[in-house]
Structure 1
Amino acid sequence: MANENKRQPEEVQARLPDLNFVRDKLQKFQSKMLYDFEQRLSCTVEDVLQDLRQRELRDHEFPNFDRSDPKSTWNNRVTKKSVPDVSDSPNGNANGMTTNPTQHTAENPRPKKRPLPEKVFVARESYLTALLQVEHMRTIYHIFYIILVMFLLNVIFYDYFVDGRIDLGLGTFQGGLRRLHWVMGAWALEHVFVFALYYAFRGWALVRHKLKPQSALQRFWTHTCLILYISSQMVFCYVSTSLCLKFDLPFVSACVLLLESTRLLMKMHAFVRYNAGRVVAGKAKTDDKEEEPAGQPFIPPLQCYTYFLFAPTLIYRDTYPRTPEIRWKFALNRLLEVVAVAFLYAFIHERHIHAHFGQFGLEPMGAPQLILKFFGMMLPSAVIFLCGFYLILHSWLNFTSELLRFGDRMFYKDWWTAHTYDGYYRNWNVVVHDWLYEYVYKDMYMHVFRGSKLAASLSVFLISALVHEQILGFALQMFFPVMFFFFGGVGVSLVFLMRRAPKVFGNIFLWFSLILGNGLIISLYAMEYYAKKNCNLNYQSWTDHLLPAVWRCYN
């Protein structure tokens, strides 16, 4: 027994290194398991917190942009249960019979027309205004601010050390805004015409109501006024474009006059088109009430029309959502952004456009030189494109909205995430798209092409391309339909070609085509402008004006 007792401590001593080894291994295993558990727990907690932050962001930062909710303010249109067939008779067609737009008959088969949604106005902020409430997006915004300051310092140092003066692009402003007083005078006279249209519309509605028992005389009066209205709109458009040629306006001044004239044309048509349906239907209808029979035709008061003329929307309503007060700091920031982008445009014109094409027509030109010039303008053209969007659709429209307390600030959507040209055209400029949809597409779809979506869409693209080309052509005083070709030809083709493209590839191709297309458009127009300016070309017949100066210069 004594020998056995002595042997046990010896065995324990012999096994002690093995036990220590196992203990060390268990401790390492335990520490590793705890470390992995802590890491996994930390990652899980971080994921949960990230989900909570995203949920809080959706609930607080972007409450109006939830696409999954059909009642969200992101959706700016609602579908009516029935679409009335408005004609010259209060109850239906010209014979006084009620008609059903979706009814099919054997004698007059028509394609079925689905109800089209109506525009609704909701108090909401612009998309970028909501995005810039996020700290990360605001940091990116500050980075662009610093880049703009660097551009400004570049201009100052270049002017001082190279030219011995500081210009800050003021020469570009002086040249581009020459004869601006003529533009302001024409703008004032245009508003006289615009307000005269209101009283002419009022006179048509009152006379039509008095002629109600005599249906033939009433239709004659209505058709006569319709012809006069179309003629007056054509004269208005002709006068505004001819003034650009008569006064020999520079590009910026001409763009101001033509864009403002186009805006007023669209405003007038929106007012007449919206309220003519009320008068023809013989009912008083306000935006927040049901239709009720009226003894007199409903004509909106002058203050509603006046507010609509200056409101940042092209869709007429009697009332719009309004903000409780004017945020003067917000308005001042938007105005400063307009001024900053204007100076950036002056820098791009002097350092890139004029530098690349100022001697066009005076220097030898071949394919290598053209390729270098095109690709040298790609990035500046992308900056022009993006800053143009930010200048007009965000800064300027938000500035005017704040001064007028206009509540609905959805002037654009997240077009930068689009993967098809359908989505890009719908979300890029919501203000103009709503007008085209409400007063062109719907009328074409319901009354002209009788349910053909393709024909109505092509009509919208054709009208939009013609207006874009008309503005650029008369502002530059040239016939050079590059914009019409790219917008009405290439752009329409890409709408159909990219409808089934994968999202990632579609978005990449969209941005590639936008940067390439804008670079080509700006380069081609700059080449034509400087070719006409530098080359002594003789215009002996009207056909000489149709040939591009770029071609005539080097051939």
Structure 2
Amino acid sequence: MAEESRTVAASCTEAGVDQLQFLRDKLQKFQSKIMGDFEQRLSCMIEDVMQDVRQQELRAQEFRQFDTSRGRANHASATWHNRQQQAFATAAENDVRDCPNGRAHAQNETTAKHEQQQPQQRKDRTRRQLPDKVFVARESYLTALLQVEHMRTIYHIFSIILVMFLMNVIFYDYFVEGRINLGLGTFRTGLKRLHWVLGAWLLEHVFVLALYYAFQGWALVRVKLQTHKSLQRFWSHSCLILYMSAQFAFGYVSTSLCLKFQLPFISACVLLLESTRLLMKMHAYVRYNAARVVQGKQKTDDYGELKDARPYLPPLRCYVYFLFAPTLIYRDTYPRTKQIRWKFALARLMEVVAIAFFYASIHERHIREYFGQFGKEPLGPSQVIVKVFGMMLPSAVILLCGFYMILHSWLNFTAELLRFGDRMFYKDWWTSHTYDGYYRNWNVVVHDWLYEYVYRDLYTYVFKGSKVVASLLVFMISALVHEQVLGFGLQLFFPVMFMFFGVLGVALVFLMRSAPKTLGNICIWFTLIIGNGMMISLYSMEYYAKRNCDLRYERWTDYITPAIWRCYH
């Protein structure tokens, strides 16, 4: 009996030892896994810190322009930021010769604004206060980067690549086709009826100038009706309805002219983009100065003393300067440069011309070569895949060159001629690791307008602090405008841009917010190249399919059904 007990005890002990050994092994594996993950995360964090230190050293040594602003050491931290919680009056401290009363009115408006916002801040303590737009005299990112020898060398390399590409086009045209074209056929076709566009552009500016005097009339009548509040409200509401109707009519006429005159793509895009720009300018002027009139801003002299009971309205020269300035945010004054650098302006203009010829060559050697016979030739899935992926790299070049031509070269050229000081038309979007940062930094000019006059009003007055809903509505408006320009420019209904920008782009905003920096930046570039290649390919297919196929439009569904589908089905 005792021996059996010892046997049972020994077996229980062995089972317990086995269980303890099993548990010990599991704990050791768990500990090693935890330590491995911890060491990996720690090494990544150390690498990020060391990378930030190296970047700081590089900025301190090579990129000095990113740490100090010329003559503004006290505002060095705001050099590459365009918003602050309380905007300092940088613009009013600069050249105000265009608007003599600008400094006094800016000071009075700042004081009155703070006094009026105090009760509202106490009332809405839980609501996040949105920062204000700040204008500072500064260069563009690439202008500052190209002052460094390393970056200037990369610029020279890309310039030589562009020259070699153009030489390739010249040799191909001469030895294969027997003539030198240089993409002039694309210009001749795309710029047809440009005189109609110029005439429409002049008439649009007449309308824009008429808005200035109409706004003055509304403001003066409103002041005279101060003792009759009901009549004042009726007058303001009637003018608001008239203003909104005029804006819709302005946009409708510009789009209908593209269809009426059968404008080619380049001419149509010029008219549509210029009309959109003027619409945004007019709304910026009305929105900014209507707040002055409603708040009771009155006309003062150069010393800030009240002159009469008339509301303060900026003179016509301020409005005209704003119409041509490379910004969509209205201010009475902006930072101004002391002189025009003609060599700098000529270099930017030559870049615009060179990239325009480069675009024409890409159209003739790639887009028309791949999709010119679309709708006539037999086509299967394999041919479509080959054509789409063949357009990936040319589409990436189109994206990068379009950014450089419009947001850097053209805007810097116009800013230099107008001595406009704030050249931050974009930020370092190429380093973005989230789509939030990409959309904010890609086109600062348009983003500032959407933020100032759409997002802030929706956030403050419509959705009462709902950031997500206001952001989604801004995305939808931006996607619709982009689709409107492309749709009427190509004269087709094919909402690929809206789906890519307004649906997939919004989804990627939320999906990539928690992505690591390196992986997020790789994903952004991958999706940009893939998405831009697919979008250009799909629009090219639809455009040439509509031209090459003999399609009948008998029902309303024929207008919204893609020509790609109708051609091959």
> What's the TM-score, normalizing by structure 2?
0.82
Instruction: Report matched runs for 1:341-352 at 5 Å.
Output: 341-352=355-366
Does the aligned pair in 1 maintain the 2:223–2:311 contact within 8 Å?
yes
1:72 aligns with 2:71: no
Shift of 1:78: 1.4
User: 1:156: which partner in 2?
Assistant: 170
Q: In structure 2, the residue corresponding to 1:243 is in which secondary structure?
A: helix
Q: How big is each residue's C-alpha offset from its partner over 1:82-132, in whole Å with a ceiling of 9 and x where there is no partner?
A: xxxxxxxxx99xxx9x9636637xxxxxx9322111101000000000000
Shift of 1:61: 6.3
Q: Which amino acid aligns with 1:169?
A: G
Residue identity (%): 71
Go from structure 1 to structure 2 and tell me whether the alpha carbon gap of 1:233 and 1:289 turns closer, same or farther (over 3 Å shift).
Answer: farther
Decide which of 321, 327, 350 is 1:307's aligned counterpart.
Answer: 321
Decide which of 512, 519, 533 is 1:498's aligned counterpart.
Answer: 512
User: 1:406: which partner in 2?
Assistant: 420
Q: What is the rounded CA distance, in whole Å, between the counterparts of 1:440 and 1:285 in structure 2?
A: 28
Shift of 1:80: 3.3
Instruction: Report matched runs for 1:129-278 at 5 Å.
Output: 129-278=143-292
Decide which of 371, 376, 379 is 2:393's aligned counterpart.
Answer: 379
Shift of 1:346: 0.6
Q: What is the rounded CA distance, in whole Å, between the counterparts of 1:245 and 1:52 in structure 2?
A: 56
Q: How big is each residue's C-alpha offset from its partner over 1:294-350, in whole Å with a ceiling of 9 and x where there is no partner?
A: 722110000000000000000000000000000000000000000000010011000
How many aligned residue pairs are there? 488
User: 2:99: which partner in 1?
Assistant: none
Q: What is the rounded CA distance, in whole Å, between the counterparts of 1:519 and 1:298 in structure 2?
A: 51
1:121 aligns with 2:127: no
Shift of 1:69: 8.1
User: 1:426: which partner in 2?
Assistant: 440
Q: Which amino acid aligns with 1:72?
A: A
Q: What is the rounded CA distance, in whole Å, between the counterparts of 2:173 and 2:335 in structure 1?
A: 48
Decide which of 94, 107, 112 is 2:126's aligned counterpart.
Answer: 112
Go from structure 1 to structure 2 and tell me whether the alpha carbon gap of 1:53 and 1:349 turns closer, same or farther (over 3 Å shift).
Answer: closer
1:534 aligns with 2:548: yes
Q: How big is each residue's C-alpha offset from its partner over 1:197-243, in whole Å with a ceiling of 9 and x where there is no partner?
A: 00000000000000011001000000000000000000000000000
Shift of 1:71: 3.5
Go from structure 1 to structure 2 and tell me whether the alpha carbon gap of 1:54 and 1:126 turns closer, same or farther (over 3 Å shift).
Answer: closer
Q: In structure 2, the residue corresponding to 1:296 is in which secondary structure?
A: strand
Q: What is the rounded CA distance, in whole Å, between the counterparts of 1:175 and 1:367 in structure 2?
A: 31
Shift of 1:50: 11
1:100 aligns with 2:105: no
Q: How big is each residue's C-alpha offset from its partner over 1:501-534, in whole Å with a ceiling of 9 and x where there is no partner?
A: 0000000000000000000000000000000000
Q: What is the rounded CA distance, in whole Å, between the counterparts of 2:511 and 2:261 in structure 1?
A: 43
Decide which of 57, 60, 64 is 1:59's aligned counterpart.
Answer: 64
Go from structure 1 to structure 2 and tell me whether the alpha carbon gap of 1:554 and 1:437 turns closer, same or farther (over 3 Å shift).
Answer: same
1:489 aligns with 2:503: yes
Q: Which amino acid aligns with 1:57?
A: E
Q: Which amino acid aligns with 2:232?
A: Q
Go from structure 1 to structure 2 and tell me whether the alpha carbon gap of 1:239 and 1:49 turns closer, same or farther (over 3 Å shift).
Answer: closer
1:359 aligns with 2:373: yes
Q: What is the rounded CA distance, in whole Å, between the counterparts of 2:534 and 2:59 in structure 1?
A: 40
> What's the TM-score, normalizing by structure 1?
0.84
Q: Which amino acid aligns with 2:460?
A: M
Shift of 1:72: 2.4
Go from structure 1 to structure 2 and tell me whether the alpha carbon gap of 1:318 and 1:368 turns closer, same or farther (over 3 Å shift).
Answer: same
Q: What is the rounded CA distance, in whole Å, between the counterparts of 1:49 and 1:375 in structure 2?
A: 38
Shift of 1:291: 11
Q: What is the rounded CA distance, in whole Å, between the counterparts of 2:209 and 2:310 in structure 1?
A: 22
Does the aligned pair in 2 maintain the 1:284–1:291 contact within 8 Å?
no
Go from structure 1 to structure 2 and tell me whether the alpha carbon gap of 1:547 and 1:53 turns closer, same or farther (over 3 Å shift).
Answer: closer
Go from structure 1 to structure 2 and tell me whether the alpha carbon gap of 1:135 and 1:285 turns closer, same or farther (over 3 Å shift).
Answer: farther
Does the aligned pair in 2 maintain the 1:283–1:291 contact within 8 Å?
no
User: 2:348: which partner in 1?
Assistant: 334
Shift of 1:56: 3.4
Q: What is the rounded CA distance, in whole Å, between the counterparts of 1:80 and 1:293 in structure 2?
A: 29
Q: In structure 2, the residue corresponding to 1:163 is in which secondary structure?
A: coil
User: 1:443: which partner in 2?
Assistant: 457
Q: What is the rounded CA distance, in whole Å, between the counterparts of 2:204 and 2:457 in structure 1?
A: 27
Structure 1 segments unaligned to the other structure (5+ residues): 1-47, 82-90, 105-110
Q: What is the rounded CA distance, in whole Å, between the counterparts of 2:238 and 2:538 in structure 1?
A: 45
Does the aligned pair in 2 maintain the 1:102–1:112 contact within 8 Å?
no
Q: In structure 1, the residue corresponding to 2:132 is in which secondary structure?
A: strand
Decide which of 503, 517, 521 is 1:507's aligned counterpart.
Answer: 521
Q: How big is each residue's C-alpha offset from its partner over 1:125-157, in whole Å with a ceiling of 9 and x where there is no partner?
A: 000000000011111111111111111111111
Decide which of 403, 406, 426 is 1:389's aligned counterpart.
Answer: 403
Look at both structures and tell me which one has the larger radius of gyration over its CA atoms. 1
Shift of 1:53: 6.6
Q: In structure 1, the residue corresponding to 2:395 is in which secondary structure?
A: helix
Does the aligned pair in 1 maintain the 2:66–2:80 contact within 8 Å?
no
Does the aligned pair in 2 maintain the 1:465–1:483 contact within 8 Å?
yes
Moved more, 147-156 or 333-342: 147-156
Go from structure 1 to structure 2 and tell me whether the alpha carbon gap of 1:50 and 1:351 turns closer, same or farther (over 3 Å shift).
Answer: closer
Q: Which amino acid aligns with 1:103?
A: K
User: 1:3: which partner in 2?
Assistant: none
Q: In structure 1, the residue corresponding to 2:78 is in which secondary structure?
A: coil
Does the aligned pair in 2 maintain the 1:473–1:479 contact within 8 Å?
yes
Q: What is the rounded CA distance, in whole Å, between the counterparts of 2:492 and 2:556 in structure 1?
A: 12
Q: Which amino acid aligns with 1:100?
A: Q
Go from structure 1 to structure 2 and tell me whether the alpha carbon gap of 1:376 and 1:278 turns closer, same or farther (over 3 Å shift).
Answer: same
User: 2:476: which partner in 1?
Assistant: 462
Q: Which amino acid aligns with 2:511?
A: L
Does the aligned pair in 2 maintain the 1:127–1:413 contact within 8 Å?
yes
